[in-house]
Chains A and B, each alone.
Chain A
Amino acid sequence: MSGLAEVRDPARLGILANRVDGVVRKMANTLLRTGRSGVLNRARDFSCCIVTADGHLLSSADSLPIHVLSGPDLMAEAMVRFQPDLAPGDAFLNNSAYHGCSHPADHTLLAPVFDGMGRHRYTVLVKAHQADIGNSTPTTYFAAARDVYEEGALIFPSVQVQRDYEDIADFIRMCEARIRVPEQWRGDYAAMVGSARIGERELKALGEEIGWDELAAFCGSWFEYSERRMAAALRRLPNAVASRVSIHDPFPGTPSDGVPVRVIVRVQPEAGSIEVDLTDNLDCLPCGLNLSEACARTSAMLGVFNSIDGDVPKNAGAFRRISVRLRENCVVGIPRHPHSCSAATTNLADRVANCVQAALAEIGDGIGMAEYGAPIPATSPVISGVDPRNGKAYVNQMFLGGTSAPGRPGADAWLTGLHVGNAGLGFIDSVELSELYHPLHVAHRRLVRDSEGAGRFCGAPSLSVEYGPVGGWMDIAYVSDGNLNPAQGVRGGGVGGPADQWIRHADGTLERLPQAAQVRVQPGEFVIATCNGGGGYGPPRERDRQAVRRDLEAGLLSSERAAAVYGFET
């Protein structure tokens, strides 16, 4: 135990933890309210966190899981390694999948925080998915990119962007010369700086108020507390080794039967620890699906945290109880430059996390979760073009909806979970806002009957969205896994509805679109996109009869399926 006053004050630890989380929440609120692109201010695709100077994750309140469990630690270490002479007012940008970032679309701003004696104490991070990053095509998930060169994004491996609290103009000019709709990017960048500086200011105020050494002692105690919680949660699991395979659909650059992801999970309850082994997998592939190290680690950890007591704090203390085994040059491991990691936060990362939580579900009832449906369906496309209403270029990721969440041990899906990595924390675009902001018409958005992952607790039904451009062409890009390999159920639960995507031409004919593509849609044409549903948990015949009746009345379930799958007679 440290020298913290906590020894005589049971309230002290909780109070300080609240205050540190409060700093992070304030950062997040600033970014949401002031960001310019829809991906930030409507979908909330960003995260804020605080790490200690030596790279231990302290707080990441309200962040997207795939963004933060690992990655901030690696980037904070890289910053110190590359920039040994840090000074107040510095800020650095990292979006390099080879230096700790999740994927190049997640621009991450790091600002070191100093005490009054000039000692680097903490680093605040703001990670925000950009509307565009200067890829060779207008998408931030370029699954077909053979390598980082074809991918084409500007890569910043911890590059200084502010000195003395002022922007370094060279950096701004580089980005403005290369990123589409540069004024939108600059607005987002300003919002990120605002958020990081607010975090820095609040953390300094806290350190000065209670004393920097006391704050450091708190971190030690908080990590110890979190580790105790994690160990206690893991001690409740049975002693088991579980393995599982989940297959990503074939895409350009992958083997013709897809990418199998194998995990082995070793639960050691007596030691209060757990290991996830990802080493028995393919080498890096000539496409954009390779995971960054941050996403490989995070997705494995995410599967574990989805399977245990959700109240365990997610920080470096709890992480001491998880070991993740990775290998170099592995498609779900540590990538080797110049392999592309363009879609690292979604496609294979989802397969890893799903595999871990589903494997854990099979070792005992009440543990784990079924699989989330696979991302990124054409209901969440990156769109670009020129708005005929004002002649201005636009690029943005739309979030017209995703209902891919799985059944859980004690509850049906959290319906609006888009994919395992964002866990439903993001927002869904309003039809009216979408049509106001972009030359777009949303013809329908509705849940699909009989597409739920049946179970004692059901996975979400698929969502179908039909949309098309108004007054001019529109490019849409998406990387929709799960057409062939939909979300699996666990413990006898059923499979969620598959993803699919069609185009309705102006003459009314329908044509199926490829799974990972960039498509130019003309006025009068409509894309009909369906997202994956989620897998079910437990046998459907054990489902509460009232719940089956409710789904029937809601029109989400046919009486034929109710009888055949749930054994429910009307």
Chain B
Amino acid sequence: MRLACDTGGTFTDLIVERDDGSVAMFKAPTTPADPIEGVIAAIGLAAAADGADLAAFLRRVDTVIHGTTHAINAIVTGRTARTAFLTTAGHPDILVLREGGRANAFDHHLAYPSPYVPRALTFELPERIDHAGRITTPLDEARTAAILDRLEQLEVEAIACCLLWSITNPAHELRVGELIASRLPGVPYTLSHQLNPSLREFRRAISTAVDASLKPLMTRYLGSLHERLKTAGFSGRLLVQTSQGGMVGADALARTPIHSLNSGPSLAPVAGRAIAAVLEESGDIIVADTGGTTYDVTLIRDGRIPMTRETWIGRPYEGLMTGFPSVDVKSVGAGGGSIAWFDEGGLLRVGPNSAGSRPGPACFGQGGLEPTLTDAAVVLGHVDPDHFLGGAIPLDAAAARAAVERIAKPAGVSIEQMALAIRRMATENMVQAIQDITVRQGIDPAAATLIGGGGAAGLNSTLIGRRLGCRRVVVPFVGPCLSAAGALLSDIRAYFRATRFSETADFPFAVVNAVLAALSAQCREFAEGAGGDPGSTTIEFHAEARYPNQVWEIDVPFQTAKFVGAADVEALRQAFHAAHRSLFGYDDPGSEVEIVTWCAAVSIDLGRSGRAVLGQRDVELARPSHHRPMWFDDDPQPVRTPVFSLSEIAAQGDLSGPLVVETPFTTIVVDLLASCRLDDRIGLIISSGGAQ
């Protein structure tokens, strides 16, 4: 039996995959002070549903896959280790200056972000290596030793070392590592060329600093989780979800904890890809996850989950860029808790401020007064205040109306009209996020399938699909626990990369083939360590490449593990032209191509089929179908609208909106002009009604 347990901001999601392939979902409240308690509680719910006590249940579990917000929370709240930053003499402000850039030229209230490691804990090591890897100033070991002694006095808990050009010659960083190990035994450290061997010193430095600062706490957290699971009866393997959309052993993760930063959201696209596979959908897939405060979107093309080297924690330029490759999840401040307001020019805005989980939307009755998207859904009758989350949280409909009225009255429109406007505006914000990852890269969302996950996805996914002109919107059974489902479907994966500048014009076959051989060896070593056999292990290569003098590389997959002749190089060049055309609308077919970084991904297929996980629907609500008055766009009057459970939909075949589907975890609105049907393998399939 396998468990996937994803700790989110509000709920801890659990999916149980029994040995017979059957699956069940559970949600327990997240316990921020001690998130492990929420994990154990969720497993407790599963055990109870199984009629077993916790210990007996856990003894039957061979694998627990955990998604955690522990690392990202520690960064957001500033509870990471006291970390020192060691860098090349003359360059102490790498983390202060960052890469420049600013989101808004005229926002004069926003403070410039503080460096991740303060200047007071930054130390300059006398040494220098040039771009070709030549040592121009040898490392001053006596000075380095004196600095390390100073770190001890300063009670530093972790050390990050990023020296210029360590990617072309790691000798100095390696020596610093030896000196740390001998002078400060037990103090965890991270060397930049080992963690993130990429060009641009800021990106390497910031990921190194983040990784080092997480080591003490993630080692403690994962150790404690494993210990408490063992105490509760678990004796199997503990895996952790990674920002790269895979999973690794808890011990490996503790050694490079930066991998867990985006541990939850990165797995939703894995579930999305599996859903597309079951649907035999070969076109583009947009995976969207709606939470209370954020809307996370990812585009999957040709079955590939996209990666980025520009992940931000918080908003771009004011937040923290991690500089570390991870699944490309674009996150915007839009969700069920987004607050609606009017600016002084009379323009309706929704978000980016959110009521969060405290006080939450007005209808939660916890003191929130401002209208949110969820309040609008209550006003419109889409959400039944007595059956939110299967009735687990009773909602205050009067409070929702009062909140919406606060802005409807001054605007001179009815409460319902205003609620519809809030829903449209929130929809637009989400649509912009999707357009950012599609239209802006020359991809037509009209040809894509939209997969809506997250507890609040059902409120407006139909409208989002309609506005984008998407052919098809899917709200899957596993939607409310999409990341946990992704964990059950993911491979054990790792990425390795090497920066070796190469040009197609004068291709250095021997050098590149040596790099690819080394990357393959790293992949095989990882696979053996993780228990993978050659039959289930796959290695995929891609190049980060560009036209001469461009600086923003794009990923180009290639098939060969060894470049034999001109034809192999030409194939890579042509693949680059095609990728450039697809991203930016034009190419430069006469141009040569430069490759900056060579990458390899290794995955170990655990042989799990998506069908069993995805096809399992929730426990049904024990409510007969009924009708409620609801409001929709394009109709000024309330419409008597049917409400169904999933099995009722299954019995009906194709149904035209408006209608609402209720499950214990979510409410799905199928608007006027839209239609839906149930696909037993996946969930609800909605035709959104075409372009507006």
Chain B positions within 8 Å of A425 at CB level: 101-102, 105
Q: Which of the residues B92, B105, B439 comes within 8 Å of A424, measured between beta carbons?
A: B105
- Whether A409 pairs with B108 at a CB distance below 8 angstroms is yes
In the complex, the answer to whether A190 meets B586 with C-beta atoms within 8 Å is yes
- B-contact bits for A422-440, CB 8 A (1 contact / 0 none): 0111111011110111000
Q: Which residue of B lies closest to A31 (CB)?
A: B584
Given A445-B91, A554-B119, the answer on whether A436 and B199 have CB atoms closer than 8 Å is yes
Inter-subunit contact A65/B97 (CB<8 Å): no
A570 to B130, CA, bound (A): 42
Q: Which residues of B contact A553 (CB under 8 A)?
A: 118-120
- Which of A187, A232, A411 has a CB less than 8 Å from the CB of B108? A411
Q: Known contacts being A209-B691, A311-B343, is A38 close to B551, with CB within 8 Å? A: yes
A198 within 8 Å of B (CB atoms): yes
| B contact residues around A10 at 8 Å (CB) | 342, 348, 411, 413, 417-418, 421
Q: How far is the CA of A197 from the CA of B584 in the complex (A)?
A: 11
Interface: B77 (CB within 8 A): no
Say whether A327 faces chain B, with CB atoms less than 8 Å apart. Answer: no
> Quick one: closest A residue to B200, CB to CB?
A430
Contact of A15 among B104, B199, B424, B584 (CB under 8 A): B424
Complex interface bits, B190-204 against A, C-beta within 8 A gives 1, otherwise 0: 000000000111100
| Chain B interface, DSSP helix/strand/loop, else mixed | loop
Write the chain A residue with the least CB distance to B111: A411
| Contact between B440 and A29, CB atoms less than 8 A apart | yes
**Could you say which residues of chain A place their CB within 8 Å of the CB of B91?**
431, 444-446
Contact of A202 with B101 at beta-carbon distance under 8 Å, contacts A35-B550, A194-B584, A229-B345 already known:
no
Contact, CB under 8 Å: A184 / B111: no
**Which residues of chain A come closer than 8 Å to B422, judged between CB atoms?**
11
| A216 smallest CB distance to B (angstroms) | 19
A162 within 8 A of B: no
Within 8 A of B (CB), among A124-157: none
- Asked if B201 and A34 sit within 8 Å, CB to CB, the answer is no
When the two chains form their complex, are residues B93 and A427 in contact, meaning their CB atoms are under 8 A apart? no
Give the residues in chain B near A190, CB-CB below 8 Å. 586, 588
CB of B549 within 8 A of chain A?
Answer: yes
| B375 CB to nearest A CB, Å | 16
Min distance, Cβ B93 to any Cβ of chain A, angstroms: 6
Query: Which of B92, B111, B347, B439 is the most central at the interface, judged by chain A CB atoms within 10 Å of its CB?
Result: B347
Q: Are A11 and B106 in contact (CB under 8 A)?
A: no
Stretch at the interface among A270-278, A335-343, A413-421: A413-421
When the two chains form the complex, which single residue of A44, A415, A424, A431 contacts B164, counting CB atoms closer than 8 Å? A431
The A-contacting residues of B in range 433-463, CB under 8 angstroms, are 435-436, 439-440, 442
Give, as a whole number of angstroms, the nearest-CB distance from B628 to chain A: 24
Given contacts A22-B432, A30-B584, A423-B105, contact A225 B345 (CB under 8 A): yes
CB-contacts of A486-505 with B (<8 A): none
Q: A13's closest neighbor in chain B, by CB?
A: B347
- Contact call A433/B344, Cβ cutoff below 8 A: no
Chain B residues whose C-beta falls within 8 Å of the C-beta of A209 in the assembled complex: 691-692
Report if A42 contacts B (CB, 8 A). Answer: yes
CA distance A410 to B108 in the complex (A): 8
Tell which of B110, B119, B136, B584 touches A555, judged by Cβ atoms closer than 8 Å: B119
Of all chain B residues, which has the CB nearest A186?
B588
Are A431 and B201 in contact, with the CB atoms below 8 A? Answer: yes
CA distance A466 to B90 in the complex (A): 9
Q: Are A64 and B428 in contact (CB under 8 A)?
A: no
Q: Are B348 and A36 in contact (CB under 8 A)?
A: no
Contacts of B345 in A (CB 8 A): 225-226, 228-229, 232
Q: Is the CB of B90 within 8 A of A446?
A: yes
Nearest A residue to B109 via CB reads A410
Give the CA-CA distance A314 to B100 in the complex, in Å. Answer: 23
A106 to B73, CA, bound (A): 44
**B-side contacts of A41, CB under 8 Å:** 549-552
Name A446-463 residues within 8 Å CB distance of B: 446-447, 463
Asked if B140 is at the interface (CB within 8 A of a chain A CB), the reply is: no
Query: If the complex has contacts A14-B428, A226-B345, are A416 and B165 also in contact, measured as CB distance less than 8 A?
Result: no
Known: A9-B421, A229-B344, A446-B91. A26 touches B440 (CB 8 A): yes
| A35-B550, A36-B548, A228-B345 known; A424 vs B100 contact (CB < 8 Å) | yes
Query: Smallest distance from the beta carbon of A205 to chain B beta carbons, Å?
Result: 9
User: Residue B650 at the A interface, CB < 8 A?
Assistant: no
Give the distance to chain B from A423, nearest Cβ to Cβ, in Å: 4
Cα separation A417 to B317 with both chains bound (whole Å): 13
**Interchain nearest-CB distance for A43 vs B (Å):** 8
Q: Is the CB of A446 within 8 A of B201?
A: no
> Is A556 engaged at the interface, CB distance under 8 Å to the other chain?
yes
Is A401's CB under 8 angstroms from B130's CB?
no
With contacts A411-B108, A416-B100 taken as known, whether A30 is within 8 angstroms of B199 at the C-beta atoms is no
For the complex, is A412 an interface residue (Cβ under 8 Å from B)? Answer: yes
Q: How far in angstroms is the closest Cβ of chain B from A265?
A: 18
| Cross-chain contact A430 with B432 (CB below 8 angstroms) | no
- Chain A nearest CB from B606 CB (Å) reads 37
A523 to chain B, nearest CB (A): 13
Bound-state CA distance A423–B317 (Å) is 13
A34 closest partner in B (C-beta): B584
**Contact present for A42 and B120 (CB under 8 Å):** no
Binary interface profile of A, 148-189, with partner B (CB < 8 Å = 1, else 0)?
Answer: 000000000000000000000000000000000000100100
Cβ–Cβ < 8 Å partners of A444 in chain B: 89-91
Shortest distance between the CB of B623 and any CB in chain A (Å): 33
Contact, CB under 8 Å: A194 / B107: no
What distance in Å separates the Cβ of B668 from its nearest Cβ neighbour in chain A? 22
Q: Which residues of A contact B348 (CB under 8 A)?
A: 10-11, 13-14
Interfacial chain B residues near A246, Cβ < 8 Å: none
Question: Among B105, B422, B435, which residue has the most Cβ atoms of chain A within 10 A?
Answer: B105
CB pair B343–A435 under 8 Å, yes or no, is no
**Partner of A435 from B130, B550, B588 at Cβ < 8 Å:** B130
B102 touches which of A229, A369, A424, A433 (Cβ 8 Å) = A424
Residues of A within 8 Å of B588, CB to CB, are 187, 190
Whether B343 lies near A229 (C-beta < 8 A) is yes
Task: Tell me which residues across on chain B come within 8 A of A417, comparing CB atoms.
Answer: 102
Q: Which chain B residue has the least Cβ–Cβ distance from A392?
A: B548
Q: Mark A8-22, 1 if CB is under 8 A from B, else 0.
A: 111101110111001
Q: What's the Cα separation between A75 and B102 when bound, in Å?
A: 27
**Given A34-B550, A445-B93, are A416 and B102 neighbors across the interface (CB < 8 Å)?**
yes
Instruction: Name A205's closest neighbour in chain B (CB-CB).
Output: B439
Interface residue A310 (Cβ < 8 Å from any Cβ of B): yes
Q: Which residue of A lies closest to B426 (CB)?
A: A11
B346 at the binding interface (Cβ < 8 Å): yes
Q: Is A33 interfacial (CB 8 A cutoff)?
A: yes
Contact yes or no, A228 B346, CB < 8 A: yes
Given known A-B contacts A229-B345, A435-B130, A65 and B105 have beta carbons under 8 A apart? yes
Residues in A neighbouring B429, C-beta threshold 8 A: 18
- Within residues 638 to 692 of chain B, which ones have a CB less than 8 A from any CB in chain A? 691-692
State in angstroms the CA–CA spacing of A416 and B93 once bound together: 12
Interface set of B (CB-CB < 8 Å, partner A): 89-93, 96-102, 104-112, 118-120, 130-131, 136, 164-165, 199-202, 342-349, 411, 413, 417-418, 421-422, 424-425, 428-429, 432, 435-436, 439-440, 442, 501, 547-552, 554, 580, 583-586, 588, 691-692
Residue contacts A-B, CB under 8 angstroms, 30 given = A11-B422, A15-B425, A25-B440, A26-B440, A37-B549, A65-B105, A184-B549, A187-B547, A187-B549, A187-B550, A198-B442, A229-B345, A306-B106, A306-B108, A399-B100, A408-B108, A412-B112, A415-B112, A416-B100, A418-B100, A424-B102, A427-B99, A428-B98, A430-B202, A436-B501, A437-B549, A444-B91, A447-B93, A554-B118, A554-B119
Known: A10-B421, A194-B584, A441-B136. 17 other contacts (CB 8 A): A13-B348, A32-B552, A33-B550, A34-B584, A44-B101, A184-B549, A225-B347, A399-B100, A416-B97, A417-B102, A423-B102, A423-B105, A423-B106, A424-B105, A445-B93, A554-B119, A555-B119
User: Top 7 A-B pairs ranked by shortest CB distance?
Assistant: A444-B90, A310-B106, A428-B100, A423-B105, A229-B345, A554-B119, A36-B549
